[in-house]
Structure 1
Amino acid sequence: MLDEDRCKQYAIRQKLTEPKEDFGLVQLIEHLCGIQDQVQGSVYLAAKARLKNVTADKIQKDLWERRSLVRTWTVRGTMHVIIASDWPMFRTALRPEWEDRWSRYLQKYATWKQRELAAKAVLEVLDNGPATRAEIQKGVEQLLGTKSEWLTNLLSPWGGVLKDLAYWGEIVHGPQKGSEVTFVKTKDWLPQRLPFLPEDPDAALSQLFLRYLMAYGPATIHDFAYWSGVSVVRVKRALHLVKGQLRESDHRYDVAFSMEELENAEPAEIAFLPKFDCYLLGHKEKFYLQQQYYKEVYRPAGHIQSVILYKGKVIGVWTRSKKNRRSGMDTKLFSPLDADIQERVLESAERYLAHEH
């Protein structure tokens, strides 16, 4: 049996409320510590589930014109959209994980010397402005005078040397060229007056932990390690730095969250969330999902399905559909629901996918 109160409180802290929140997109992304952006359109759909007024065009303007948002690799080594002023915190907190753990697969393809050579060449290419992966590869091959397999592997879509440079703080994503993503030097792209942050990775991680708890708490150290991808050893060091600012109960930590805010808000009765939504990635324990349906949501090879929530509980999954003209999606509910609830699910589905641009 799921803990309904815990599911409701989690939905509220994730800004899945009824009525929807009326604050800005940038504030939402700051609160959630970023939105994963592995799948096209996921940032828009995650925001639309939580905000009254959001458009895909506004997201593009915040990313590429106002530059209040930035797209780069952050937690778990995955692509996220975060707020620009948070970039120093993520970079400093996560750099050791990339260097010591997440990038180990590159040791099969290239030496540290080769990674450094490739990184230097990439930065030379980007001196001329934003460039696509193909443009970077062509320029690097010319600079190094080689098309060796190690170089091809370092410039593969998995990230390679581009991830090296991202976690070293040298590059972020730039505006698209047609359908192609580009990369740009951070110093040329982000505002020069970013907040000062100590260069101690554990201090930065402790600040990230505090921020995480606002949207995902109460949570255990293992939940935070699962969400961030960092080692439990580092989480414990970060916790030690801020433990005096936290409340603890049953091995779960939390910040001083306003209970009045939770009591005065209502979770959305029905919510649709896109693939890899942060709601599904915040905790190791899936307290909002009945165990027998785990494999319906968390699929092989790390794939996480789009889900339907009912008052914070996962009750089904959904996929886009051209055949379903009413809602534009096919739904699969895990167990039968009252006819009136099923009708409200369909009505919510229509609103969710309507007017995507």
Structure 2
Amino acid sequence: MHRIDDEQRRVRLGRRHLLAPSTRATSAVAVADAVVALHATDAATVFLSVCARLADPGAEAVERALYEDVSLVRLLSMRNTLFTVSAEAAPAVDASSARPVAVKERRRLLKHLREDGQGLDERWLADTEDQTLAALKARGNATGSELSAAVPALRTKITLFSGTKQETVQGTATRVIRVLAADGRIRRDRPRGSWTSSQFRWTAAEPWPPSDPAEARAEVARRWLLSYGPATEGDLKWWTGWGVRETRTALAAVGAEEVQLDSGAVGWVAPGDLATEASPEPWAALLPGLDPSAMGWADRGFHLSTDHRAALFDRAGNIGPTVWWNGRIAGGWAMRPDGEPVWRLLSDVGREASQRIEAEAGRLSAWVGDARVTPRFRTPLERELTA
């Protein structure tokens, strides 16, 4: 069996994730395709992940792709998580992952409506969705609060988990909007405030045309292998949230080839993707929390020391901002209230690495400008650095 060692995996990461300076992209779409999907739970992550990989970084390029060209789109998809993908990749991601999520979201909402006991049912939900879409089309775009003001049904309150310690009363607006977004009938438009804000306006959208889920899973697996391979079956299963059978069927459909990894595990690569790649120039990167390069594998042993996990992850398993040196996570960083990036190295990487990290911090400060970034999921090291 062909062997691909950990050093070659780190070389591939630097090249294919556009982190080495000579590989940086000229467009936000090229970055999204290079990593398949950008984590978008935290609005700032998309901008920070893209700009770390752009030759000429700037928030304007990302905003243009998201809100003017709509060449980048957000989908509630893999692992029931919000991702940003290119419009070209969106149909495959939608059919393979977003559609099942949308079905579950609608089923869950209808269950809560029935259990509330007010007689709210599928007809009520359909009527409320129609009224919400009509109000949105009349306005062009609107926040959730503005839609609630325009559509009385969205102000309906329901009781969740009645009779339990978790009993709570919630409005239906957020849940109805979430279902409409999951179905692709509305999408996030420009937020209120800067690019770091998660207070989005909403605008009407057209769902992606339906396609065969098995073919879509094969296409997603092919893209993922080209970006993250070699990787294990478990890595792909974790990243996508698919079941074992779906994962194995997708690997077989795409013609994935087996390789041996340094860990002793069997890895997979895209067909014919066995050639050894030359190391790029030395590189450093400051990547945000939940960046794809840190979240692309279930087993991160080839680029992350187990000794670093306690400092860099929160209790839910979300990784915070990371400092990279030549394909390894070497530490973490944060932004102080005055905008200064600060970092701490958890590995001894030498003088050259420190100089290049300093240069990356300067590059980050230059394009971020007056914006301030605080990760939604805060980790022990990030909190220490901003204290």
TM-score, normalised relative to structure 2: 0.77
Q: Note if 1:139 corresponds to 2:187.
A: no
**CA contact 1:75–1:94 (8 Å) conserved in 2:** yes
Q: Which residue is equivalent to 2:238? A: 226
Q: Note if 1:299 corresponds to 2:314.
A: yes
For residues 168 and 106 of structure 1, the distance between their equivalents in structure 2, rounded to whole angstroms, comes to: 13
Q: CA RMSD in A?
A: 3.0
SS at match of 1:300: coil
| Cα shift at 1:293 | 1.4
For 2:345, which of 326, 333, 339 is the aligned residue?
Answer: 333
SS at match of 2:316: helix
**CA contact 1:306–1:317 (8 Å) conserved in 2:** yes
For 1:70, which of 69, 73, 96 is the aligned residue?
Answer: 73
The aligned amino acid for 2:245 is V
For residues 212 and 330 of structure 1, the distance between their equivalents in structure 2, rounded to whole angstroms, comes to: 32
Once the two structures are aligned, what percentage of the paired residues are identical? 24
SS at match of 1:223: helix
**CA contact 2:73–2:87 (8 Å) conserved in 1:** yes
Cα distance change on mapping 1:268 and 1:72 into 2, 3 Å = farther
| Cα shift at 1:308 | 0.6
Q: Note if 1:238 corresponds to 2:250.
A: yes
| Cα shift at 1:312 | 0.4
For 2:364, which of 345, 352, 355 is the aligned residue?
Answer: 352
For residues 209 and 283 of structure 1, the distance between their equivalents in structure 2, rounded to whole angstroms, comes to: 13
Q: Which residue is equivalent to 2:178? A: 163
SS at match of 2:56: coil
Cα distance change on mapping 1:109 and 1:237 into 2, 3 Å = same
The aligned amino acid for 2:298 is K
Output one character per residue of 1:212-238: Cα deviation in whole Å (capped at 9) or x when no partner: 111111122221121122333322333
The aligned amino acid for 1:155 is A
Q: Note if 1:212 corresponds to 2:224.
A: yes
**CA contact 2:8–2:277 (8 Å) conserved in 1:** no
For 1:203, which of 188, 196, 215 is the aligned residue?
Answer: 215
Output one character per residue of 1:142-198: Cα deviation in whole Å (capped at 9) or x when no partner: 147834446945433xxx3333223323222123345641122213xx9xxx8xx65
Q: Which residue is equivalent to 1:273? A: 287
Q: Which runs of 5+ in 2 are unaligned?
A: 115-120, 161-168, 261-265, 370-387
Cα distance change on mapping 1:95 and 1:47 into 2, 3 Å = closer
| Cα shift at 1:301 | 2.9
Output one character per residue of 1:41-94: Cα deviation in whole Å (capped at 9) or x when no partner: 322221222221131111112222222222332322222222223322222111
Output one character per residue of 1:232-282: Cα deviation in whole Å (capped at 9) or x when no partner: 33223333432xx3222243221146666x634516521111111001111
Q: Which residue is equivalent to 1:263? A: 277
| Cα shift at 1:340 | 4.4
Aligned residues: 339
Deviates most, 112-121 or 21-30:
112-121
For residues 146 and 354 of structure 2, the distance between their equivalents in structure 1, rounded to whole angstroms, comes to: 50
Deviates most, 309-318 or 229-238:
229-238
For residues 362 and 267 of structure 2, the distance between their equivalents in structure 1, rounded to whole angstroms, comes to: 38
Q: Which residue is equivalent to 2:118? A: none
Q: Which residue is equivalent to 1:94? A: 97
The aligned amino acid for 1:135 is E
For 1:313, which of 304, 307, 328 is the aligned residue?
Answer: 328
Cα distance change on mapping 1:116 and 1:291 into 2, 3 Å = farther
| Cα shift at 1:298 | 2.1
Q: Which has the higher contact order (CA 8 A, sep 6+)?
A: 1
Q: Which residue is equivalent to 1:32? A: 35
Q: Which residue is equivalent to 2:20? A: 17
Q: Which residue is equivalent to 2:163? A: none
| Cα shift at 1:131 | 1.8
SS at match of 1:263: coil
Q: Which residue is equivalent to 2:203? A: 184
TM-score, normalised relative to structure 1: 0.82
| Cα shift at 1:125 | 2.8
| Cα shift at 1:105 | 6.2
